[in-house]
Structure 1
Amino acid sequence: MKKLLAVVMASFLMLTACSSGGKDAASSGDAGSSGSSKEVTVWAWDPNFNIKALKIAQEKYNKTHPDVKIKIVEYAQADIIQKLNTGFNSGTTKGLPDAVLIEDYRAQGFIKSYPESFHELGDKVKGSDFADYKAGPTSLDGKQYGVPFDSGVAGLYIRTDYLKEAGYTLDDLKDIDWMQFIEIGKKIKEKTGKKLVALDPNDLGIIRMMAQSAGSWYVKDDGVTPDLADNAALKEAFKTYKAFMDADVAKMQSDWSQFLAAFNSGDVAAVPTGNWITASVKAEASQSGKWAVVPLPKLANVPNATHYSNLGGSSWYVLNTPAADAATDFLASTFGSDADFYQTLNKEINAIGTLNTAGQGAAYQEADPFFNNQKLTSDFAEWTKEIPKVNYGVNTYAIEDIMIVAMQNFLNGADVDSVMKDAQAQAETQVK
């Protein structure tokens, strides 16, 4: 049943920058492992981020390991998931890569369903060297299987000019909750005519951020048992989402291009999301000097609520192939331990890694003129350390499909306790 579930999971995709698709064909090298212990094939998606990060790692590693050939292969994320499931279900890693990038929300589903296919990293990679919240998706039963990569640490991107026009300063956003933020949004709309945020009713990324900020998720700590009916953080997140709608401060959008257009065109005042949106915000050069980023508002009426959360992110995994040891050394020597390497990644692709020592590097301390010389990367690195650790489990997207329907029912007038109870029942029936 677990293996069947993993196949089903392949149909669920998250439309965020850090989980965007790539080309359908390989960008270099062969599609799978060569079977040689000195040839390492790595699969990933997104040519401008993950693939570019691999090429930087390849160049650095080959300076000291010229005898190891690194083949980088680009596939769309959906294709990688399908190919992994097909290969694992056949009982062999033949034709699969030696190392692969897997989104954090999906990782536990693969590791738990196919533990014999993944290579334990042992003392080559220490989970304690990375942000604590990355331990959940990259380890199982005390064993480290993943090399944590990028941080999906979230922040509240805010138009300071709109804020000022409404009579507020950045100090007014310190230590506030989401309901207080909505009140500020009402004033911004009154003074500027602009909506506060853009929301997609079929993408509950903001609900995920709110839940994790309070140390909660769709499942309990075991990563399996649905935790919806009695989940105080999720209920408050639902109420907050509805409050955005009731206050008429949310601009509705239905796809990625509309989301980008909402803030690039100046139609919304704020963007609460993962740090990977920075490049897209900066793409509108005319808005330079008009943005700042502060910690997220926290959930009201939830004792464990914080201002810190995550959205997206992925990690590297090694499969049990003839080149497993070489693949492990490649990843451990670069993504797994090299703080200077992360300075290069930050300069080249704006990546914020989760390696703790990377935060002290020079690139992370640089001021960003677009954000009024805010040391944005340094801030994000510090916030990464504060993200509550949760177990994403194996069914994030399957449960989220249920939650999307629950949200529509709630927005149409159903009681939050009723919709959560119904969602719980559906999750217990459909997700095993």
Structure 2
Amino acid sequence: MTAHLSRRTLLGLVGAGAGAYLLTGCGDGESGDPDAPQAVNWWHIQNTEPMLPVWAAMAQEYQGAHPNVTVEIQPLENEAFKAKLTTATQAGSPPDLFQSWGGGLLKQQVDAGLVKDLTDDVRPWIGGLLPAAVQPFTVDGKIYGVPFDVGMVGFWYNKDLFASAGVTAAPTSWAGVLDAVRRLKAAGTVPIALAGKEKWPAHYYWAYLAMRIGGLGALQQAAKDNNFETPDFVAAGDRLKELVDLQPFQKGFLGADYSSPDGQAATMGNGRAAMELMGQWAPSVQASASTGRKGLGDKLGFFPFPAVDGGKGSASEAFGGGNGFAVGKDAPAATVDFLKALLTADNQRRAARTGAVLPTVRDATDAISDPNNKIVAATLASATGFQLYLDQAYPPAVGQQVNDSVAELIAGSKTPAQIVKDITTVAKSQ
């Protein structure tokens, strides 16, 4: 999203960060006694509309029902959150409740004894969640985080710009994507919006191409062998270079953020580019970042990342992840109970109705109303395989190198063969 969502976006929602929100209760301090005054420090990245006020309202309601509990909310922009969490965890003092995407970073936090084993606490209700959503938060058979959102990355496109360029159907092959890019350029339209500065959005292209060319097995084998110097990964870089050579991205993309007023999401939301490869949160961030905060509305469409001719992977295999929360090692007793409250079916429906969240609670999926999000949810439900974002699935140093290396490939400073060598070097050093 790291992201990337990156990230990931399932990654961050738009905004320049916000200060701590103190929702007052009566008392402070921490205690294992559920009736004693308790303060829960909560860090999350839903730092603008639409989810910022929704989370705040849920915390306020919980405090109303639990007068001894104070919830201190720290909403942070995605990259700022990651930096601040790194500082906190290196100091051995993670927040009580904090954003997590599971995967390799969560495993490191588990190994370092920074997060609580939630297995017994959540056993009575975790069965109501989609198993695929819980999987990234499961380490060695134990649950260390709870997802509130699950989804996948795919292409979001402007139907009007496609039609104006003579692209009459969503591409079903990588060759079709390249053809659409050529047609859009010929029509004077920027084909793709990309936040080159943040790197995690670009890694989606390389990761998906590696999946489509090598199949999920190639990604899993690379994690076991710490080796990315294989023909499938090199080919993924070659296919990505085909796209880059068409110069499909907006002017200044290498310096563009994801959620700033002139960034990737705003470029899409304001109709200045025809498509972006992004997670399920894309429509809400486009709207938040665009002029008038309207976005594209019914002009916006979605299609899954297509197959690559001759590839071993299936177009029915999904790439994405979920936003969730982990609980810090010293969190007060009320933290897990508050987390349970956030994951009730009613609260999940409230989150789903914003359009920014695809719920993980089965009983709340009926609240998905956006037509595109329904497509995303249906595509994910029928997926034959699932891969977590590479910058989250692999150890953090490897994930960061993936992001850095793909950025170098897109900038033209490294070749497909060079980037897999660099990633392998870091993987073998872990």
Deviation track 1:52-99 (CA, whole Å, cap 9, x = no partner) reads 443233245456x434514132054135413531442xxxx5xx5432
CA RMSD, Structure 1 to Structure 2 (Å): 3.8
- 1:150-165 aligned at under 5 Å gives the runs 150-165=149-164
Deviation at 1:19, TM superposition (A): 2.9
Correspondence 1:323 to 2:323: no
In structure 2, the partner of 1:119 is 117
In structure 1, the partner of 2:136 is 137
Name the aligned partner's letter for residue 193 of structure 2: A
Indicate conservation of the 8 Å contact 2:151/2:376, yes or no: no
Correspondence 1:182 to 2:175: no
Deviation at 1:235, TM superposition (A): 3.4
Provide the rounded CA distance (Å) in 2 between the counterparts of 1:403 and 1:61.
Answer: 39
Indicate conservation of the 8 Å contact 2:151/2:279, yes or no: yes
Indicate conservation of the 8 Å contact 1:155/1:293, yes or no: yes
Deviation track 1:202-255 (CA, whole Å, cap 9, x = no partner) reads 5143433653655649964796753411272x4343223211122233335022
Unaligned runs of 5+ in 1: 1-9, 369-374
Deviation at 1:143, TM superposition (A): 0.7
Provide the rounded CA distance (Å) in 1 between the counterparts of 2:135 and 2:394.
Answer: 11
- 1:195-210 aligned at under 5 Å gives the runs 195-202=190-197, 203-208=199-204
In structure 2, the partner of 1:306 is 315
Provide the rounded CA distance (Å) in 2 between the counterparts of 1:230 and 1:356.
Answer: 39
Match of 2:160, SS state, is: helix
Deviation at 1:273, TM superposition (A): 0.7
Deviation at 1:142, TM superposition (A): 0.6
Correspondence 1:424 to 2:427: no
Correspondence 1:82 to 2:86: yes
Indicate conservation of the 8 Å contact 1:151/1:354, yes or no: yes
In structure 2, the partner of 1:6 is none
User: Which stretch of structure 1 is more off in the superposition, 271-280 or 73-82?
Assistant: 73-82
- 1:4-403 aligned at under 5 Å gives the runs 18-19=11-12, 23=17, 25-28=19-22, 34-37=29-32, 38=34, 39-46=38-45, 47-48=47-48, 51-62=52-63, 65-74=65-74, 76=76, 77-78=81-82, 80-88=84-92, 97-104=95-102, 107-115=105-113, 117-122=115-120, 124-125=122-123, 129-169=128-168, 172-173=169-170, 176-190=172-186, 192-202=187-197, 203-208=199-204, 211=207, 214=212, 216=216, 220=220, 226-230=226-230, 232=232, 234-252=233-251, 253=253, 254-256=255-257, 257-282=262-287, 283-284=290-291, 285=294, 287-307=296-316, 309-311=318-320, 313-321=322-330, 323-324=332-333, 326-335=334-343, 338-348=344-354, 350-359=356-365, 361=366, 363-364=367-368, 366=369, 368=370, 375-386=371-382, 388-390=385-387, 392-393=392-393, 395-396=395-396, 398-401=398-401
Name the aligned partner's letter for residue 270 of structure 1: M
State the number of aligned residues. Answer: 394
User: Which stretch of structure 1 is more off in the superposition, 100-109 or 39-48?
Assistant: 100-109
In structure 2, the partner of 1:3 is none
Deviation track 1:104-126 (CA, whole Å, cap 9, x = no partner) reads 45642443332364232326256
Deviation at 1:140, TM superposition (A): 0.8
Match of 2:66, SS state, is: coil
Deviation track 1:5-62 (CA, whole Å, cap 9, x = no partner) reads xxxxx9x9956553367757532169x9821244250321333266544323324545
- 1:24 to 1:114, Cα distance in 2 relative to 1, 3 A: farther
- 1:100 to 1:178, Cα distance in 2 relative to 1, 3 A: same
Deviation at 1:197, TM superposition (A): 0.6
Provide the rounded CA distance (Å) in 1 between the counterparts of 2:56 and 2:18.
Answer: 19
Name the aligned partner's letter for residue 69 of structure 2: K
- 1:249 to 1:117, Cα distance in 2 relative to 1, 3 A: closer
Provide the rounded CA distance (Å) in 2 between the counterparts of 1:313 and 1:281.
Answer: 19
- 1:144 to 1:81, Cα distance in 2 relative to 1, 3 A: same
Deviation at 1:146, TM superposition (A): 0.7
Provide the rounded CA distance (Å) in 1 between the counterparts of 2:82 and 2:413.
Answer: 35
Match of 2:358, SS state, is: coil
Provide the rounded CA distance (Å) in 2 between the counterparts of 1:168 and 1:314.
Answer: 34
Match of 1:357, SS state, is: helix
Indicate conservation of the 8 Å contact 2:42/2:95, yes or no: yes
Name the aligned partner's letter for residue 386 of structure 2: K
Indicate conservation of the 8 Å contact 1:100/1:316, yes or no: yes
Q: TM-score, normalised by structure 1?
A: 0.76
In structure 2, the partner of 1:372 is none
Indicate conservation of the 8 Å contact 1:148/1:354, yes or no: yes
Indicate conservation of the 8 Å contact 1:242/1:411, yes or no: no
Name the aligned partner's letter for residue 12 of structure 2: S
Deviation track 1:147-201 (CA, whole Å, cap 9, x = no partner) reads 11223422321121222223333xx226x122211112212222x2112112345
- 1:301 to 1:108, Cα distance in 2 relative to 1, 3 A: farther
Q: TM-score, normalised by structure 2?
A: 0.76
Provide the rounded CA distance (Å) in 2 between the counterparts of 1:102 and 1:403.
Answer: 18
Provide the rounded CA distance (Å) in 2 between the counterparts of 1:225 and 1:24.
Answer: 42
Match of 1:73, SS state, is: strand
- 1:321 to 1:287, Cα distance in 2 relative to 1, 3 A: closer
Indicate conservation of the 8 Å contact 1:24/1:79, yes or no: no
Name the aligned partner's letter for residue 157 of structure 2: I
Provide the rounded CA distance (Å) in 2 between the counterparts of 1:22 and 1:413.
Answer: 30
Indicate conservation of the 8 Å contact 1:224/1:394, yes or no: no
Deviation at 1:352, TM superposition (A): 1.9
- 1:346 to 1:219, Cα distance in 2 relative to 1, 3 A: same
Indicate conservation of the 8 Å contact 2:268/2:286, yes or no: yes
In structure 2, the partner of 1:5 is none
Name the aligned partner's letter for residue 427 of structure 1: A
